[in-house]
């Protein structure tokens, strides 16, 4: 698969453009905002379909309840705000109104991860994957770039008929996947082949994983890179097959290590094919205000950190032989 960075583009833009374009095909799609329409790129939809967009103001819990009513009435509501507010502030309503009733509502969790930057700890969603994946009937998507976020929007509408949490970021990041790359919910993607170690990444960390694999190649270490754009349901078959092939795994995510992608991978492999695992992510701490890239460096979310973890897990792998 040819993966090249064509530009830097925020995944939130992919979300907004995807929502606008799928709404052209499906008149049942409704957009709901929470007073930060342009920040989450819902303005792209609202400008095209003002009669189908409603801003409730800062009232996330009320929005979820209204979205549930719209879904029961045959509409497909999209609700988006910052992930910390979408996933945490309205958890009760999401659990009971959406998940318990298994309603087709798509929640856009924007400004995910530490790379939100200057907004600081209160606005950096680092626990949303853990919360959303614990809810029955909830599908959790975490695409790797703007193109894939665009495709994830279409998949959330056409491939599933239940609640969806779609996670995306604020800052421009490498946009490197082909626009026509198939997005199938529940199926991971092998981006590079390798035999020594598997790097399993999600969201913005997929690009860092690809950069890490390039560096490892220079050091005669063959790394397989897997993009997990669907946290739930996870692609168990792919994870197990890769673990059998390489015998060592590193996970990478812009999220707390606790409860996130690393936890899911550990759950799957511990039950099916245990191998040494190392985790790259935020280590049980809040973020802070700062330059996005500097925060990624400070909190150990760069390719260099993945390289170090790969070397560490390989040393553990050798000890097991």
In whole angstroms, what is the distance from residue 263 CA to residue 284 CA? 13
Annotated catalytic residue 60: yes
Give residue-wise pLDDT tens across range 137-160: 999 999 999 999 999 999 999 999
> Where do the domains of the chain lie, and which CATH numbers do they carry?
7-175 (3.40.50.970), 189-320 (3.40.50.920)
Q: Residue 128, SS3?
A: helix
Q: Residue 140, SS3?
A: strand
Could you give the C-alpha distances from 165 to 32, 226, 280, 296, 316, in angstroms and in order?
15, 21, 22, 24, 35
Half-sphere exposure of 48 (CA within 13 A, CB side): 18
Residue among 60, 127, 171, 253 flagged as catalytic: 60
Neighbours of 4 (CB within 10 A): 9
Position 313 scores a pLDDT of: 97
In whole angstroms, what is the distance from residue 260 CA to residue 211 CA? 22
Position 118 scores a pLDDT of: 87
Give residue-wise pLDDT tens across range 33-69: 998 889 999 999 999 999 999 999 999 999 999 999 9
Query: Global pTM?
Result: 0.96
Position 5 scores a pLDDT of: 78
Buried b (16+ CB within 10 A) or exposed e, 265-299: bbebbeeeeebbbbbbbbeeeebeebebeebbeeb
User: Would you state the torsion angle of the CA atoms of residues 270, 272, 273, 277, taken in this order, to the nearest 10 degrees?
Assistant: -30
Position 35 scores a pLDDT of: 85
In whole angstroms, what is the distance from residue 245 CA to residue 226 CA? 13
Residue ranges, the chain, pLDDT below 50: none
In 32-186, which ranges are continuous DSSP H helix? 43-48, 60-72, 83, 91-93, 128-133, 146-158
């Amino acid at each position: 698969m040819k993966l090249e960075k064509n530009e830097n583009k925020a995944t939130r833009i992919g979300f907004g453009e995807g929502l606008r374009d799928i709404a052209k095909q499906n008149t049942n799609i409704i957009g709901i905002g929470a007073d930060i329409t342009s920040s989450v790129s819902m303005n792209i939809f609202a400008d095209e379909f003002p009669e189908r967009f409603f801003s409730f103001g800062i009232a996330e819990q009320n929005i979820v309840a209204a979205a549930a009513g719209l879904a029961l009435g045959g509409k497909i509501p999209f609700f988006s705000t910052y992930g910390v507010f979408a996933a945490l502030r309205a958890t009760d309503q999401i659990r009971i109104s959406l998940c318990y009733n298994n309603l087709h509502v798509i929640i856009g969790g924007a400004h995910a991860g530490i790379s939100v930057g200057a907004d600081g700890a209160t606005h950096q969603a680092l626990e949303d994957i853990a919360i959303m994946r614990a809810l029955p009937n909830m599908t959790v998507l975490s695409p790797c770039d703007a193109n894939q976020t665009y495709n994830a929007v279409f998949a959330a509408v056409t491939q599933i008929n239940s609640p969806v949490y779609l996670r995306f970021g604020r800052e421009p990041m490498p946009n490197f996947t082909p626009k026509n790359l198939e997005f199938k919910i529940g199926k991971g993607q092998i981006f590079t082949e390798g035999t020594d170690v598997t790097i399993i990444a999600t969201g913005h960390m997929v690009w860092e994983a690809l950069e890490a694999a390039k560096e490892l190649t220079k050091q005669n270490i063959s790394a397989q890179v897997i993009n997990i754009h669907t946290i739930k349901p996870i692609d168990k078959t792919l994870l197990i097959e890769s673990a059998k092939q390489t015998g060592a795994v590193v996970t990478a995510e812009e999220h707390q290590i606790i409860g996130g992608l690393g936890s899911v991978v550990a759950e799957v492999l511990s039950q099916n094919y245990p191998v040494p695992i190392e985790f790259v992510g935020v280590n049980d701490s809040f973020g802070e205000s700062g330059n996005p890239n500097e925060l990624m460096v400070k909190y150990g979310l760069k390719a260099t950190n993945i390289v170090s973890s790969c070397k560490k897990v390989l040393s553990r792998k050798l000890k097991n032989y």
